[in-house]
A and B are shown apart, each in its own frame.
Chain A
Amino acid sequence: MLRKLTPYLFVAPLMISIALFTYIPILASLNLSVREWNFLSPDMPFVGLRNYEQLLSSRELWNSLWVTTLFAVLSVPLRLALALLIASYLVRESVHSRLLRGALFLPSVTSTVSIAVVFSWVFSTDYGMVNAILGTLGLGKVQWLQDPYLALWVLIFVNTWKQMGYDIVIYIAGLQAIPRELYDAASVDGGRRFHVFRRITMPLVMPTTYFLLVISVIEAFQVFTIVNVMTRGGPAGATDMLVNLLYEIGFVLFDIGRGSALAVMLFVLLVALAILKSRIIGRKVHYEA
């Protein structure tokens, strides 16, 4: 009897904490999303789909969806392209490539808040590093974080700077898995460098690219820390990404119903992305070792 119980005892602590803090909350969110509650009032009446309707007819949601999509569409390809180029240079083992890898990887394990604070200074109007450099070149001050067009680009830059090192490390591992003979054969055939990159490297690191593409898109849709520290979603909603909107509705306005409805919508979107990813990877990638 006890023998049969053993595996259940081993998995119990993990399963209980997953149930309590991941699965039950999903159901709770669904329930809260069809109610009206401000955290203080004694009852929470059922309001049907009103929270969803309100959200879908609000300018904030569509703005937020647009800004987040823009952020993902602009930042992810940039990150991956840069990372692949740098990785294919750094893939050869040597002291200087190890040194550079370390430097590039460092930001991805550093505190996001610190990085957001440091770059708030870098891009600050009066005392910032970038404007100081522009100043010595004889150019005027730019209001990086106060300009609705530039602020999003600043966030894209900071996100790329922080995360690229991770992509590079993953790409290097992917590149090292490509058999050397293929390159040797290509060089016997007199293939030029760009040609070899295009015809051998790119297709063979496709599985790695898909992996990174999907996790970075999912991650981009959940960006919060740099937004909260650097711009608070501003100026004028120009960087008001989805999780930031969720935080504002749920924990600043304490509109629990509408916040939960937004959480559910974002959840459906991200799970759909994750499922789409496993479909695509299942179908299109033949090169998996």
Chain B
Amino acid sequence: MKPENPFLAGLALIAGLLFLSPVLYSVWISFQTADAYYAGELGFTLDNYGRAVGQYNFARYLLNSLIVSGLVTLFGITFATMAAFAFARYSFRGGNLLFGATVATLMIPSHISLIPNYLSLAKVGLLDTYAGLILPAISNGFAAFFLRQYIRGIPKALDEAAYMDGAKPLQVLWRIIVPLSRPAIASMALYIFMTEWNSYIWPLVAVGDQDLYTLQIGLARLYRINPGEGLVDWPLVMAASTITILPVLCGFLLVERHLVRGITMGAVK
């Protein structure tokens, strides 16, 4: 890296803050009392967070989001890794066709399955359950495709040595492939988690029971069903919005490099 020009660095910092100012300002509003906010005065309070969590159930929504995104990630990455291993290491009858069907899902817009998934989950009584939120989101063709490419780059001699020592396929996958693909698996797990965390249209249609709302649905409802009479209670809404942004933001700051590497690996080979 070149030595830093402090003037440029300062300018960059200001530009970045300006760019993010709407979000930063919304966090600021979330600490204002409603009266002070509408009167244009200052009045610090934590009350909005108290109300969002207590009165408006956001602790529950946070828990729901964690459960749903966590399980979708766990199952999604497991299924994708297993399939990627088979596609990378075995040639089997129908293998190319199945791989083609997996890759083709990248071109298929998800809204086509919205109504049918709603109807079939309604039929088996899984609307308004965690399972109903989770199941349609588990298959991830992109992760399977991406991991298959990555696994193909791992020397096959390593597998063969393990098979010589009497290892079973599952052991080879778990002891050799998975540890060696850790960065790729981590990137994809992160990608699945974030996609699911922010997912909106499916939870919107699949869940009517308030106790199963994810953060996204809870926040959209809170904003749309104005709690203040006619006026939106902006400090309350911004507290809820901050609760929704925060977990992913912290995660992002921890793993920025992984994530950026992951998405660029996917786009530019």
Chain A residues with CB under 8 Å of chain B are 4, 6-8, 10-11, 13-15, 17-18, 20-26, 28-29, 32, 39, 92-97, 99-100, 102-107, 109-122, 124, 127, 129, 161, 166, 169-170, 172-174, 177, 208, 211, 218, 221-222, 224-225, 228-229, 243, 246-247, 250-251, 256, 259-260, 263-264, 266-267, 270-271, 274-275, 289
Taking a contact as CB atoms under 8 Å apart, the answer to whether A10 and B260 are in contact is no
Q: Do most interface residues of chain A lie in helix, strand or loop, or is the interface mixed? A: helix
Q: Tell me the smallest distance from the CB of A191 to a CB of chain B, in Å.
A: 22
Chain B residue nearest to A123 (CB atoms) is B22
A22, A109, A113, A271: the one contacting B220 at CB < 8 Å is A113
* Cα of A6 to Cα of B237 in the assembled complex, Å: 52
B223 at the interface (CB under 8 A from A): yes
Do B22 and A120 have beta carbons less than 8 Å apart? no
Nearest B residue to A22, CB-CB: B105
Counting contact residues on chain B (CB < 8 A from A), the size range is 35 or more
- CA–CA, A289 to B219, complex, Å? 45
Residues of A contacting B92 in the complex (Cβ-Cβ under 8 angstroms): 4, 7-8
* Cα A177 to Cα B269 with chains together (Å): 10
Stretch at the interface among B10-18, B50-58, B152-160, B178-186: B10-18
> Which B residues are within 8 Å of any A CB, using their own CB?
1-2, 4, 8-9, 11-13, 15-17, 19-23, 25-26, 29, 37-38, 78-80, 82-83, 85-87, 90, 92, 95, 98, 101-102, 105, 107-120, 135-136, 138-139, 141, 144, 169, 173, 194, 197-198, 200-201, 204-205, 215-216, 219-220, 223-224, 232, 234, 237-238, 241, 244-245, 248-249, 252, 256, 259-260, 263-264, 267-269
Q: How many A-B residue pairs have CB under 8 A?
A: 252
A103: B residues at CB distance < 8 A: 15-17, 19-20
Contact check: which of B2, B108, B237 meets A92 at CB < 8 Å? Answer: B2
Instruction: Decide: B234 and A121 in contact? CB cutoff 8 A.
Output: yes
Closest residue of chain B to A37 (Cβ to Cβ) is B119
Contact A173 B268 (CB under 8 A): yes
Q: Are B2 and A24 in contact (CB under 8 A)?
A: no
CA distance A243 to B110 in the complex (A): 11
Q: How far is the CA of A274 from the CA of B116 in the complex (A)?
A: 23
Residues A105 and B200 in contact, CB atoms below 8 Å apart: no
Q: Which of B15, B139, B198, B237 contacts A21 (CB 8 A)?
A: B139
A15-B101, A29-B113, A117-B220 known; A111-B234 Cβ under 8 A: no
Q: Is the CB of A246 within 8 A of B13?
A: no
- A sample of 25 cross-chain residue pairs with beta-carbon separation below 8 angstroms, ordered by A number, consists of A11-B98, A13-B82, A14-B82, A14-B83, A14-B144, A15-B101, A17-B135, A17-B138, A18-B101, A25-B112, A26-B108, A29-B113, A96-B8, A102-B256, A106-B249, A109-B194, A113-B200, A113-B244, A118-B23, A121-B237, A222-B111, A224-B201, A243-B111, A267-B112, A271-B108
Docked complex Cα distance between A120 and B136 (Å): 30
Q: Report the bound CA distance from A16 to B190 in whole Å.
A: 23
B116 and A246 contacting across the interface, CB-CB below 8 Å: no
The chain A residue sitting closest to B26, CB to CB, is: A118
**Complex Cα distance A114/B20, Å?**
13
Minimum CB–CB distance for A8 against chain B, Å: 7
